[in-house]
Chains A and B, each alone.
Chain A
Amino acid sequence: MMELLERYLAAVAEELPVEQQQDIIRELRANLLDQIDALQQDGPLTDAQLSQLLLQQGHPVDMAQRFAPSAPLVASEDMSLYKTVLWHGAALLAVIALLKSLGGLILADSINPVRLLLQLGFNFIDSFATLLLVVTAVFYLCGRAGWTKEWRQRQWHPARLPRYPLARMKLSDSITDLTSALFLLLLLWTPLWLSAEAQQQLPVRLADGMEYWRYLLTVFAMLSAGFALYRLTQLSWQRWSKWAYIADHLIFAAIFAAMAFTGGLFTEPELLTDQAVLFWTHAAGSIYYVLLATAVVLLVLAFTEYRQLRRL
């Protein structure tokens, strides 16, 4: 009969931290033996009665959790930020995986859609697994150090709460801007993550004497990323920060417009593949329209922000 009790205790022990196993099981055994003694006052206990008693205690996992509750890797209060970071990180990785797969496509002798999709999927899963691990580890460590709580309660004072809903800085906006700036930096510095072979066979490259655009955009992309990081520490817009945000949009709009009107920015690669020939025959001109359209979108966004600024 006691075998059932020992099996139950062993099952609970398995779910407990090693350093607490002996002490908790010793106490649980003593308590259960007392209950068994009480039940045996009316006669010897049957296996069925003992089973019933153990069932009343609950599942071994639940029992172990009550004695030694395990702390979650990410606190429930941090879940919103955790999900936002993962969501934006996943979007960025999906675009990078797509670019990598297209890079592989350039090198391929023939196009196989199934292979392309598989490559895209595996590229994404591979990098997302790393992202998940890193982000979870960062949240775990920051949560234990109490930094995420400090961040949640940053600048908390009723007087500092935004007067109008529009004055509230949206977390998702700041993370989107940070992601966009990082993506631009990745596009500008393909040698850092694209193989040299794929790099050589890209259908376009910056023309000679146009390298300064890369450095100019790098400087402003880094400033933009830094400003987005700063906004993550703030609760509401101030007039100066709104002005800086508008300036950020206008500078990029001006750069993209200037690039579109300058022309001759890109040139054919040294090694002209069939895909590159196809691109230069049919699609090369569209680069400048894309740049111009981006500049217009940024101007519209800057104007929208300016209208909000007047209400701050």
Chain B
Amino acid sequence: MNDDRLDKLRLELRRGVLVLAVLASSRTPQYGYSLRKQLNDNGIDIDEGTLYPLVRRLAEQGLLDSQWQMAEGRERRYYQLSVSGAEVLAQLSAEWQQLNGSLATLLEQQ
């Protein structure tokens, strides 16, 4: 399989779990760059052009609360998991665990 096709498939595979990763990382207040760094440090490489719009979309859906704050002499928009976001995160986590278990069984059979 050529690299381009593999890259596209990999991107598609990761896209689905990005919401889960962002919600999980937003249990504590995060601003755009810190969120990206946290995801990167945990092995989830995501480019800014994808992450920042995604975070805004989740805030528009009410899953993240946001607030502008001054820090280190500059304003930053901090995001944190909202009440409904926490509920969604719990449901998605359970879904993910189940899916992951099923997938692991399937992959082991190969």
Contact = CB atoms under 8 A, between A and B. Distances in A.
Interface residues of A, number: 17
A25 to B, nearest CB: 12
A27 interface: yes
A293 to B, nearest CB: 56
B77 A34 contact: no
Interface string A49-76: 0000000111000110011000000000
Interface in A16-73: 24, 26-28, 30-31, 33-35, 38, 56-58, 62-63, 66-67
A63 B47 CA distance: 12
B62 interface: no
29 contacts: A26-B75, A26-B77, A27-B32, A27-B52, A27-B56, A27-B77, A30-B32, A30-B74, A30-B75, A30-B76, A30-B77, A31-B31, A31-B33, A33-B74, A34-B31, A34-B32, A34-B33, A34-B34, A34-B76, A56-B47, A56-B48, A57-B49, A66-B49, A66-B50, A66-B52, A66-B53, A67-B52, A67-B53, A67-B56
A62 B48 contact: no
Contacts of B33: 31, 34-35, 38
Contacts, number: 42
A278 B53 CA distance: 72
A240 to B, nearest CB: 48
Interface string B75-98: 111000000000000000000000
B22 to A, nearest CB: 14
A28 B32 CA distance: 9
Nearest to A31: B32
Contacts of A58: 49
A67 B52 CA distance: 8
A38 B74 CA distance: 14
Contacts of A67: 52-53, 56
Q: What 7 A-B pairs have minimum CB-CB distances, sorted nearest first?
A: A34-B33, A31-B32, A66-B53, A67-B53, A58-B49, A27-B77, A30-B76
A67 B32 CA distance: 14
Interface-centre pick from A24, A28, A31, A33 (highest chain B CB count, 10 A): A31
A34 B30 CA distance: 13
Nearest to B35: A31
Given A30-B75, A35-B48, 19 more contacts: A24-B56, A26-B77, A27-B52, A27-B56, A27-B77, A30-B74, A31-B31, A31-B52, A33-B74, A34-B31, A34-B34, A35-B33, A56-B47, A56-B48, A57-B49, A66-B49, A66-B50, A66-B52, A67-B56
B48 A57 contact: yes
Contact of B49 (A24, A33, A38, A62): A62
A26 B76 CA distance: 9
Contacts of A62: 49
Contacts of A57: 48-49
A121 B56 CA distance: 49
Nearest to A66: B53
Nearest to A65: B53
A186 to B, nearest CB: 50
Interface in B27-57: 31-34, 47-50, 52-53, 56
